[in-house]
Amino acid sequence: MISGNVKKRGLKNHSDPLFLVKIGIAGCGGLGSNCAFNLVRSGFIKLKIVDFDIVEASNLNRQFYFSDQVNMPKVDALEANLKRINPDIKIDAIRERLNRANVKKIFADCDIVVEALDEVECKSMIVSSLVNKVKFMVAASGIAGFGNSDQIKIKRIKKNLALVGDLKTGTEKVPPFSPKVNIAAAKQADLILEYVLKGTTE
């Protein structure tokens, strides 16, 4: 299946950058699962999704899963959901907990990585481990709560690293809800689309 937006842009399939780039998604919770569907709908076809967890009923308030997928490994459920959008995508689904010892190896074949992890220790670990290894990385900080959603901003830390979020509202203090999580996840996906199609993050 040729994705609609690739057709619309009149590009040749084999040379389209959307078909060549491999995107790693670290964490398949609210950010990772929603960012992934935005990437697939945008026309990307090579993804590596990594998460150790299973789908829980409490995830359904914001994550891209369905009630009949509760107790499934998130990577398996996400792969199935993404393939319902485009059956021709190539997904590496890795059920593993990311740590300093395995993160570089797991994402070694990815051009771009989405930081979509939950805990601050993991976020800082993956960004510091990978930012010098990948072409482009999008991380997130401050996506919890509701209201003031214009505060979900993009901060360009360096040429190959952007940060999305309000930089202050963490899940330590307030629970996450679908709208702001989705705004942040969509912004992460849009940064990647911009980077790949324009070759720039400006």
Partner 1 sequence: MILRINGEEEDIAGCDNLLELINTKRLKREAIVVEHNRRIVLKERWRETVLSEKDNIEIVSFVGGG
Residues at the site binding partner 1, with contacts judged by CB under 8 A: 27, 29-32, 115-121, 123-124, 127-128, 131-132, 139-144, 157-158, 163, 165, 167-172, 176, 181
- Cα(52)–Cα(35) distance, rounded to whole angstroms? 18
Under DSSP, is residue 118 helix (H, G, I), strand (E, B) or coil?
Answer: coil
Q: Which segments of 57-152 are extended strands (E)?
A: 90-94, 112-115, 136-140
The least distance separating partner 1 from the CB of residue 14, rounded to whole angstroms, comes to: 34
Q: Which is nearer to partner 1, 11 or 54 (CB)?
A: 54
Minimal distance, residue 87 CB to partner 1, in Å: 27
* 118 vs 194 by CB, closer to partner 1: 118
CB nearer to partner 1: give 89 or 181.
181
Nearest C-alpha neighbor of 111 from the set 137, 134, 138: 134
List residues bridging with 154 in a β-sheet.
164
Residue type, 62: R
- Pick between residue 31 and residue 110 the one whose CB is nearest to partner 1: 31
